[in-house]
Structure 1
Amino acid sequence: MSFAGEQVPGVEQPAPEAQGFRLNHSMLRVKDPAVSLAFYTRVFGMRLLRKLDFEEMSFSLYFLGRLDDDEVIPEEIGERTAWTFSQRGLLELTHNWGTETQEGFSYHNGNAEPQGFGHICFTVPDLDAAIAWFDANEVEYVKRPEQGKMKDVAFIKDPDGYWIEIVEPARMKNVGR
């Protein structure tokens, strides 16, 4: 029998009407897209899959993904847009035009009071190598893997101060036991 999900109070059986629903992306607002795009493409190896501009509302959306090297992305713009919205685990960076020139402007990162949004998470094949890479790129830490009660988990910050959890799946086997 295949795993059907953990059962705790509040979990309900999926409705047939929700068949095929999947999480496509999470969105973060960014002050300066050039800075944030450089961070996510350089540090995490993500690719910009699609940029959408909404001139009448003065904002742009940047959809980033970390794809396998052999994945084929449609070249034709409409097909690529539809393909982008069919993927899993994308990051959408939203830029409200003009924020990049506003002195002292910043978004709430969700971890300051009052808390709300917490973080996004990236898995890495080798946590030690990832930490060395982050150090070489002068990435700011919230928590290094050796700090705190939860070992083998790091938290770094992106250019807008959003927290990013970093885990190596093989090291997570005993978490929560």
Structure 2
Amino acid sequence: MSDPSTYKFNHTMFRIKDPKVSIEFYEKVLGMEKFKESAGSDFTNFFLAFPSGFGGSNLSDDEKAAKMFNREGILELCHNHGTESDSNFKGYASGNEEPGRGFGHIAITVDDLDAACKRFDDLGVKFKKRPEEGRMRHIAFIYDPDGYWIEILANNRDVAHK
């Protein structure tokens, strides 16, 4: 008998146009780390996660890959070879526009929402929604290079946007 109390939400997969651009965004902007790459004949999957979730520092990529199915919060980026140089490629549906509305976003918590938003501005990140816009003043949304939405909120609501 399988015990659902042991189940974990392990990862989410996004299809991406250009792995160089997307990996740089997730590493430099959000602080994730690529720890595994898995190539197929016409695609490559890249696995990224926040380093703190591996339960130890200074682990090798092989050690992280061995632990990947026992943790939560992994992002898999799937690159179908050739999309990065295809001038006719229009990109993937983000799930937030027609056709294809369905998927919404992933969410990342940060230590300080205002400071994170300033950092994103300094890095030239495109915003969908800033904390000062709309009714929900405690969140922001940014776009990744493929147009996927990423919700940004403070990990401590007491120090959320003031």
TM-score (structure 2 length as normaliser): 0.87
Contact 1:61–1:95 (CA under 8 A) maintained in structure 2: yes
Larger mean Cα displacement after TM superposition, 82-91 or 63-72: 63-72
Equivalent residue for 1:33, pick from 10, 19, 22:
19
Unaligned 5+ residue runs, structure 2? none
CA 1:76/1:166 → structure 2, altered by over 3 Å: closer, same or farther?
A: closer
Instruction: Indicate which of 120, 127, 139 corresponds to 2:125.
Output: 139
Query: Quick one: percent identity of the two aligned structures?
Result: 44
Q: For each residue in 1:152-177, what CA deviation from the matched residue of structure 2 results, as whole angstroms up to 9, or x when unmatched?
A: 2100000000000000032379xxxx
Aligned residue for 2:49? Answer: 65
1:5 maps to which residue? Answer: none
The farther-off stretch of 81-90 and 144-153 is: 81-90
Label 1:81 to 1:67 Cα distance change in 2 as closer, same or farther (>3 A): closer
Could you state the TM-score of these two structures normalised by the residue count of structure 1? 0.80
Tell me the residue number matched to 1:119: 105
Distance 1:127 1:140 in 2: 16
SS at match of 2:52: coil
Q: Counterparts in 2 of 1:143-154, with a 5 A limit?
A: 143-154=129-140
Whether the 8 Å CA contact 2:35–2:61 is kept in 1: the answer is no
Please give the residue correspondences for 1:10-29 in structure 2 after superposition, counting only pairs within 5 Å.
17-29=3-15
**Which ranges of structure 1 fall in alignment gaps of 5 or more residues?**
1-14
| Other-structure match for 1:10 | none
**Rounded Cα–Cα distance in structure 2 between residues aligned with 1:111 and 1:170:** 27
| C-alpha contact 2:36 2:61 (8 A) present in aligned 1 | no
Cα deviation digits, residues 33-63 of structure 1 (max 9, x gap)? 00000000000111111111112xx111111
CA RMSD of aligned residues (A): 2.2
Report the CA distance shift for 1:76/1:44 in structure 2 as closer, same or farther (over 3 A): closer
**1:64 Cα deviation (Å)?**
0.5
**Aligned pairs, how many?**
156
Q: Which residue of 2 aligns with 1:97?
A: 81
Q: Which secondary structure does the structure 2 equivalent of 1:113 belong to?
A: coil
Shift >6 Å, 4+ stretches: none
Question: Is the radius of gyration larger for structure 1 or structure 2?
Answer: 1
